[in-house]
Amino acid sequence: MVLLDTTKENSLDWSKYPYGPDSDTPGWVEESFTDFQKGIHWRSYVVCDVAYNNVNNWLWTPFIERKDDSVNRLYIEIKFSMRDCNLFPGMALSCKETFSLYYNEDDQPMRGAPLNSIAMMEAPKVDNFKLIDRIASDEGRFTSNSEVIINTEVRSIPITKRGVHFAFRDQGACLSLISIKIYYIVCPSVINNLAVFPQTPTGQELTSFVTATGNCVPNASPIADDVTASSVPKLICKGDGNWTLPSGGCRCNDGFEAVGNSCKEIPGWKRPNKMLDSSVLAQSPQKNQSFASPASPASTGFSLPERKSPTSSSSSSRGREYFWVAGITAGILAVLGVVMFGIFFVKKR
């Protein structure tokens, strides 16, 4: 997220030291950098006080607010060009081929130019200006009036307060600050496993990890795990602005199906009926009985017949057959006895 981009500005008008007609050196001068072939017309700052001794030119940006307390680190990209000191034979009293980058972090902007403190500065750490780096033209210095070699350098700082001033210190270079961009890096908003993760600034250190928590898309719920009732979706934001190490997630609710990164209603879907209606269960004599185990004789009020072994069952069957045959035989003998008695009685008469 860009906080300052000088290529988008029509005028800069930054604070600088020295300043005014009584200055010992011309110092920083605002002008336009133009490259017709590349379509460039940017406002920039130049300085070239190589013909002076004890050069100490300062230029600092406006107060750059981080705007969001979650912003932990700011980056500054500097595009610049620098002349080779060999272009100034005999007239360069203090020619340098480097410049220094500082910053001052505070909860409010500096009021005007702190002239005395900067003019008397002998060490970079005085008066809360901290040295970030001393920068050289690694990609080359131009050695003719028509040749321009643009160098690009990126530095970063941790930030905990409301905002910051960046400062550039020249001590005798012939230098053009072509463009300055100040920004912070974020992991972009993303949908992962049906969970929405917000845009998340990176951590305070380049190696820091920031954990972000996601929210399920509409018509979805967190996936339950074996330990808790639900597993909250999470992602890790790395220092380079990329997400990693997803955990948890969401799934579509009943009656919905995943279509891309959303849950859409399933056409014609009806919620299935419950296996047992609660009113039926309330009237059942076994309403307090668990469905997971069969009913016991004690709970139902009925007793089951005792199981017999095959041997005892066979013996009982043979005993019943014996009494049945004996009963029939006795009946037949009784009938025969009556008949014989009748025949004897008739003959005697």
ω into 18 cis (within 30 of 0): yes
- Measuring CA to CA, which residue among 194, 247, 188 is closest to residue 218? 194
Is residue 196 in a domain? yes
Q: How confident is the model at residue 126 (pLDDT cuts 50, 70, 90)?
A: very low
Are both 14 and 83 inside the same structural domain?
Answer: yes
What CATH number has the domain bearing residue 144? 2.60.120.260
Percent of residues, the chain, with pLDDT higher than 90: 43
Are both 110 and 247 inside the same structural domain?
Answer: no
Q: Which DSSP symbol is given to 29?
A: E
Is residue 287 in a domain? no
pLDDT at 170 over 80: yes
Are both 170 and 209 inside the same structural domain?
Answer: no
325 vs 163, higher pLDDT: 163
Is residue 70 in a domain? yes
Is residue 333 in a domain? no
pLDDT at 324 over 80: no
Are both 152 and 111 inside the same structural domain?
Answer: yes
Mean pLDDT of the chain: 78
Are both 169 and 221 inside the same structural domain?
Answer: no
Q: Give residue-wise pLDDT tens across range 12-41.
A: 999 888 877 777 888 999 999 887 777 788
Q: Give residue-wise pLDDT tens across range 236-258.
A: 999 999 999 999 889 999 999 99
Q: Give residue-wise pLDDT tens across range 302-317.
A: 444 444 444 444 445 5
- Which of residues 151, 183, 215 is at a domain's end? 183
- Measuring CA to CA, which residue among 195, 238, 192 is closest to residue 214? 195
Are both 207 and 242 inside the same structural domain?
Answer: yes
Range of 148's domain? 2-183
What CATH number has the domain bearing residue 228? 2.60.40.1770
- Which of residues 237, 253, 271 is at a domain's end? 271
Could you give the maximum distance between any two Cα atoms of the chain, in Å? 186
pLDDT at 320 over 60: no
Is residue 16 in a domain? yes
For residue 59, with 0-12 CB atoms within 10 Å meaning exposed, 13-18 middle and 19 or more buried, which class applies? buried
Is residue 58 in a domain? yes
Q: How confident is the model at residue 337 (pLDDT cuts 50, 70, 90)?
A: low
- Which of residues 233, 252, 271 is at a domain's end? 271
Distance (Å, rounded) from C-alpha 133 to C-alpha 55? Answer: 19
Angle at 253 between CA 251 and CA 256, to 5 degrees: 100
Are both 247 and 259 inside the same structural domain?
Answer: yes
Q: pTM (2 decimals)?
A: 0.69
Are both 204 and 164 inside the same structural domain?
Answer: no
- Measuring CA to CA, which residue among 80, 110, 78, 104 is closest to residue 183? 78
| Stretch 54-72: mean pLDDT | 89
Is residue 147 in a domain? yes
| Stretch 51-66: mean pLDDT | 90
Are both 259 and 174 inside the same structural domain?
Answer: no
pLDDT at 125 over 70: no
Are both 196 and 179 inside the same structural domain?
Answer: no
Task: Quote the pLDDT of residue 228.
Answer: 54
Is residue 38 in a domain? yes
Are both 129 and 262 inside the same structural domain?
Answer: no
Are both 247 and 115 inside the same structural domain?
Answer: no
| Number of domain units in the chain | 2
